[in-house]
Chains A and B, each alone.
Chain A
Amino acid sequence: MKPTGILFFPAFDWAISPTHPEREERLLYTRDQIFEEGIMDMPQIREYQPGLATFKDIARVHFCVPDIESQITEAHLVSAGSALRMADAVVTGEVKNGFAIIRPPGHHSMTVVHGNRGFCNINNEAIMVEYLRHKYGLKRIAIVDTDVHHGDGTQEIFWDDPDVLFISFHQDGRTLYPGSGFMDENGGPMAYGTTINIPLSPRTTDEGILFILDNLVMPLLEEFKPDLVVNSAGQDNHYSDPLANMCFTAQGYARLNQRLKPDIAVLEGGYSVESALPYINMGLIMAMAGIDFSNLKEPDYSPNKFKEPAGNREALQRIVDTQLRVFREREEVIARTRAKSDRPFRMELRNIFYDTDYIHEQQRVEVRLCPTCAGFRTIVSSARHPSGREYTVGCVSIPFRACTHCREEGQAAYQTLQRSNNQLVYLQNKIDDDYRVTDTRTQQEIKL
């Protein structure tokens, strides 16, 4: 039996600010617990060394304004790079599955990056998914976001991508940051149904989340048949988390992963650093490695501590019915959209708020409604940075499995933008793995 890969990178020398939830102390007690347990010495576990992501790995997903250097620290390169290393070990078959216990986190980061949103600068899972598709030619990937917050960054990045199934369950957006992730957010017109949101009412317990897992998440995965399942593994559904209001336990997390059987789990949020994280991380490792976790519990836990809120089962059943229908009707809906669409592009205006850095970003997004592929995207984005500088940038993204038409038209769009008055113009050509930035004033182009 192959071992489970563990990559533990607690970044003991990195924090957003000294008292921020995302600080050095975050994985300190997790370190204490997993080292004291000695679980890394067991034959079922193989420990991996962190790696460094390259700028190209980041450019495959993000448009960093004004450049990658100013948006990230070395810690981000190590965190993302560690996810890539874990992914390599899983895909090449060195290990049966892998868990990257890394920080800083990433699932709130969107395609365009002006600053830090929800403690995230760059999206570790998205960078990993694009890396895997590029390097190993994987086609269909499912991301199950088990963080208590809606994974709005990951959702936005794969919104128009029918090959990535994004499932997020989270505390209802009406009661928690980032205030999104509602039932009707189902993906772009050509990728309808491969974004599935499951808003849960506060105080939902293990019982409720496992009900959703068994009755919705698992059937979706079975029908989608992904090459790889990623758990975007937040740990803040825990009853002791200071930033959320759910009632999930370490046992619940372990059982979730035992049933979900993710190929790769990547740590996201979770800020109950002392009462939850050490136990949840142990539970996840044990579940993924197939080690009996029945002897694991939080010191203050007792079996009858929490009761599922009244009426929750009925509400969850409605979510299951609706979202299964959305997913199963997706091809039909996309075909209908294609048939009745008289315009070649879908245009959308968006406002995005960066809570950590207090930035308001405006976006105009255009996606080509392509009859054969996901369609190329053009984003024009402007925001005033904390430095006081205002940026307007134009970005073109050509998808991974773009048709010849989208590939050529995307490149043409980039050339047109180069003559625009946006300060910076980006090309993200995933099909040729070609990433460029032009400074329109100097007309200098940098190729990554």
Chain B
Amino acid sequence: MLIGIDVGGTFTDGVLFDDGRILAAVKKPTQTDNLQESLLAVLDELLAAAHGTDINRVVLSTTLVTNLLATGQGEPTALFMVPGYGLPHRAYDLTANIYFLQGAVDFRGRIIEKIDTNQLFVALQDVQHKGIKRIAVACKFSNRNQSLEQQIRDEIMKIDPEMQVTISAEVSGKLNFPRRAATTYFTAMTMPEWKRFANRIEQALEARNLDAEIHILKADGGTMPLAASLSNPCETIFSGPAASTMGATALSRDRLNSVVVDIGGTTTDISLLISGEPLYASKGARIDKHFTHINAFAVRSIALGGDSVIRCRDNSIRVGPMRIGAAACFGGDEPTVTDVFNVYHELKVGDWNRSRELLTTLAESSQMSLQSLCFFVVETVMERLKRSISDMFTEWENEPAYKVWEVVHRRKFQLDRIIGIGAAAHAIVPILAAEIGVPGFVHHYAPVANALGAAVVRPTLALQLHVDTASNLYTVDSGGLTGTLPDPRKFQLTDAKVLAISCLEEVSRARGIDKYTVNASFFMEEQFNMIRGWDRVGKIFEVGIQVAPGFIEEYQGVSE
């Protein structure tokens, strides 16, 4: 049996899943000041429903790190940047505690300027003086040569062995120094709190004698074992939308182009499936206005949900953005978006007379007919959803391309279907789909699709190998692996692919997910001849390999 739990902003959802069926679903309000409590309460109910049957795997999706970063409650962290030459230093504004250090590496991984240890010591003293206990270190092009970052860490540890130092090459190896610095900084900042949380969860599960694999859901729609998450807490951000999108994929299981509309109580999240595969945000997850190297789905959130309250102010009808409580038909005190759809389309969900009553009162007080009030709200909701969907298409179509082939073969997004998930999807999505003129799909598991998604997804891992045969060096993102080649002169693309596979296996073993590497596929294969004068002096290879988001083997769809 499998358990998936998604701790969301308003509710915590959990499912117990086995053999194509959801055996139990639990929904409880989230206690924002005690996520662990919310999570365990749901878990205990699911365990009770399992009646002692073995649980193979538990996957948790939590907003802990998202909340920490959003509320600025991470631990004070200093950022040592080695920007070398290029943009002015004032382009970097991640924190007030930035220290710029001398030193420079170029795109081939050559050191063009050394570290000035005296300058480093002065910075360190200042950090110690401020009482800061963690330092994130980021050097431009450390993904090509991490030795300056390592040297900085070594020098710091010599003086202050208590200092926690995180270097960027070990967090991400992708190009984009500001994003790498941000990712490293946020990682260093949230690591201790996340570690405490992970430990408490582990103890709680031990106390329940649960002998199951524990995984954490990531922003890229895959999982990682709890132990592996300790050094990568930031990968857990935005896992809620990832759970929903993967839940939609799990329920649809085909290769169509779909829009996934997850209508929760307060917000609606929209994501795209291109030929059945979730679309990623091209600039990575965004934290506090900063782009990062955290792979996340492209999700557009709008402050409009099934519980968005309908009020009249200054003689005009306002739709949301607040959530006061549940919809009137489910016992709330004020009419909401769900109530309007309930009445206007005669869905007769919940106590639909109460929907009518509250809306009629509101209509009277604003001198409108019930019909025109409902019409206005439905139109407003449709307009906002349609605009967000079309903005997403445009954004996807306008992604840059760097090869002739990509430009010539570019296609326009042809929408096949809208998938609705979330509690209010039944009321709104069929109407939205009809309006856009495509089929709508709302599975009866749609209200718990997020928890289902978490329960059945497999671990993911993406890795990019950069090989430079002229300088006889290879570097790997992520994992910070680096090394030299046995015979660089004879090294070809096929060798690079073999090397990429073995790096993937090594990183997978370290993360405890090596049994999933059989699912790996290449997503990038580039090679460049390096010509100096008229002779070839070497080759550069860029090979990308990944275990893409997908489902564990046990999952073969849901039985109807």
Contact = CB atoms under 8 A, between A and B. Distances in A.
Contact of B529 (A18, A73, A74, A282): A18
15 contacts: A9-B407, A11-B403, A28-B540, A29-B107, A33-B107, A37-B87, A37-B178, A38-B177, A41-B291, A42-B91, A49-B400, A50-B400, A78-B404, A81-B407, A295-B86
Contact of A38 (B107, B179, B534, B536): B179
Interface stretch (A19-27, A105-113, A322-330, A337-345): A19-27
A299 B404 contact: no
Contacts of B140: 36-37
B229 to A, nearest CB: 26
Interface string B510-536: 000000000000000010111101111
A218 interface: no
B175 A36 contact: yes
A29 B87 CA distance: 17
A6 B70 CA distance: 32
A295 B528 contact: no
A305 B534 CA distance: 27
Contact of A19 (B400, B401, B407, B534): B534
How extensive is the interface on chain B, given as a class? 35 or more
Given A36-B140, A74-B408, A48 B179 contact: no
Contacts of A9: 401-402, 407
A13 interface: yes
A288 B182 CA distance: 26
B403 A13 contact: yes
A433 B535 CA distance: 46
Residue with the highest number of chain B CB atoms closer than 10 Å, among A48, A49, A51, A74: A49
Contact of A299 (B83, B106, B405, B531): B106
A38 B401 contact: no
B529 A11 contact: no
Nearest to B174: A35
B536 A19 contact: yes
Contacts of B530: 25
A75 B404 contact: yes
A33 B89 CA distance: 16
A35 B175 contact: yes
B444 interface: no
A47 B178 contact: no
A32 interface: yes
Nearest to B283: A41
Contacts of A28: 528, 540
B402 A78 contact: no
Nearest to A37: B86
A12 interface: yes
Contacts of B534: 19
Contacts of A77: 408
A274 interface: yes
Contacts of A412: none
A41 B179 contact: yes
A77 to B, nearest CB: 8
Contacts of A47: 400
A85 B147 CA distance: 42
A36 to B, nearest CB: 5
A33 B86 contact: yes
Contact of B87 (A10, A19, A39): A39
B531 A25 contact: yes
Contact of A14 (B83, B283, B404): B404
- Which 8 A-B residue pairings sit nearest by Cβ, starting from the closest? A32-B107, A38-B178, A35-B175, A299-B112, A292-B88, A25-B528, A38-B176, A75-B404
A184 to B, nearest CB: 36
Residue with the highest number of chain A CB atoms closer than 10 Å, among B291, B402, B530: B402
A31 interface: yes
A291 B91 CA distance: 9
A74 to B, nearest CB: 5
B93 to A, nearest CB: 11
Nearest to A271: B531
B87 A291 contact: yes
A19 B529 contact: yes
A31 B526 CA distance: 13
Nearest to A50: B407
Nearest to B175: A35
B108 interface: yes
A442 to B, nearest CB: 31
B297 interface: no
Contacts of A299: 85, 104, 106, 110, 112
A286 interface: yes
B398 interface: yes
A359 interface: no
A216 to B, nearest CB: 31
Given A18-B529, A33-B107, 12 more contacts: A10-B402, A14-B404, A18-B531, A32-B107, A36-B143, A36-B176, A36-B177, A47-B400, A49-B397, A78-B404, A291-B87, A295-B85
Contacts of B176: 35-36, 38, 41
Contacts of B399: 49
Contacts of B533: 242
Nearest to A44: B91
Contacts of A38: 87, 176-179, 291
A13 B405 contact: yes
A295 B87 contact: yes
Contacts of B397: 49
Interface string A130-173: 00000000000000000000000000000000000000000000
Residue with the highest number of chain B CB atoms closer than 10 Å, among A11, A35, A50, A296: A50
A37 B177 contact: yes
B141 interface: yes
Nearest to A6: B400
A42 B178 CA distance: 10
B107 A36 contact: yes
A44 to B, nearest CB: 10
A278 interface: yes
A436 interface: no
B86 A31 contact: no
Interface string B138-180: 0011010000000000000000000000000000000111110
A12 B85 contact: no
Contacts of A7: 400
Given A38-B177, A78-B407, A278-B107, A48 B400 contact: yes
Contacts of A75: 404
Nearest to B113: A299
A24 B112 CA distance: 26
A157 to B, nearest CB: 25
A50 B406 CA distance: 10
B307 to A, nearest CB: 34
A365 interface: no
A28 B176 CA distance: 15
Contacts of A31: 402
A99 interface: no
Interface in B399-455: 399-405, 407-408
Given A35-B176, A37-B86, A295-B88, A13 B529 contact: no
Nearest to A42: B91
Nearest to B140: A36
Residue with the highest number of chain B CB atoms closer than 10 Å, among A13, A29, A32, A242: A32
Contacts of B112: 299
A299 B105 CA distance: 9
Interface in A271-328: 274, 278, 282, 286, 291-297, 299
A192 interface: no
A78 B91 contact: no
Nearest to B110: A299
Interface in B87-125: 87-91, 104, 106-108, 110, 112
A210 interface: no
B531 to A, nearest CB: 5
B88 A294 contact: yes
A23 B400 contact: no
A282 B110 CA distance: 19
Nearest to A20: B531
Interface in B371-399: 397-399
